[in-house]
Structures are given as structure tokens and as C-alpha cells.
Amino acid sequence: MKKGIHPESYRLVAFKDMSNEDIFITKSTIDTKETIVVDGVEYPLVKLEISRTSHPYYTGKSKLIDTAGRIDKFKSKYAKFKK
């Protein structure tokens, strides 16, 4: 591996899934301005829209939402390329 290309400023960061309020802590170099207290310890906070606890692939609860026939539009658009 090349030397000097990897960051060295790893620290513990709290990631919060905003859809289900799940919080997990891991090492990261991400910059953040917010903090959160978890189990009496203050961590930098990163807010997520979706994570492993709310993603349909991991939860097994998938939903197919077809707004305005987007799937039908896609199929008709690319049907001409079918052989």
C-alpha cells in the first residue's frame, strides 16, 4: 500500500438513523458540527436518512411504490431496444 494516503484522524462517531431513531457508534473521519450524548459520553453526530436498520434489503420489508406509472414509462421507453 502507498504510504501517506490514508487519513489518521479516526475517532468514534455516532450515526443516527432519522427514520427509526437507531444510533450506532463506529470510527470515522467525517467532519460534523453536531454532537450527541450516548451512555454518558459525547460523540460527534452524523444524521442518516436510511441505514441497515431501516433499509428494505436488510429488514425484509420491501415496498414497490409506483408513482405516476414510472415503471410503465421505463418499460415502454426501453422496449424498443429489446430484441
Q: What is the pTM of this model?
A: 0.63
The reply to whether 61 falls in a domain is yes
Higher pLDDT, 28 or 73: 28
> What is the extent of the structural domain holding 40?
11-80
The reply to whether 1 falls in a domain is no
Task: Quote the pLDDT of residue 39.
Answer: 93
- Total domains in the chain come to 1
Question: Average pLDDT of 69-73?
Answer: 74
The reply to whether 6 falls in a domain is no
- 6 pLDDT tier (thresholds 50, 70, 90): confident
Task: Quote the pLDDT of residue 7.
Answer: 84
The reply to whether 42 falls in a domain is yes
Cβ(59)–Cβ(20) below 8 Å: no
How many other C-beta atoms lie within 10 A of the C-beta of residue 36?
A: 18
pLDDT, tens digit, 9 for 90 and up, residues 29-52: 999 999 999 999 999 999 988 887
Q: How far is CA 52 from CA 5, 60, 66, in A?
A: 29, 11, 23
The mean predicted confidence, pLDDT, of the chain is 82
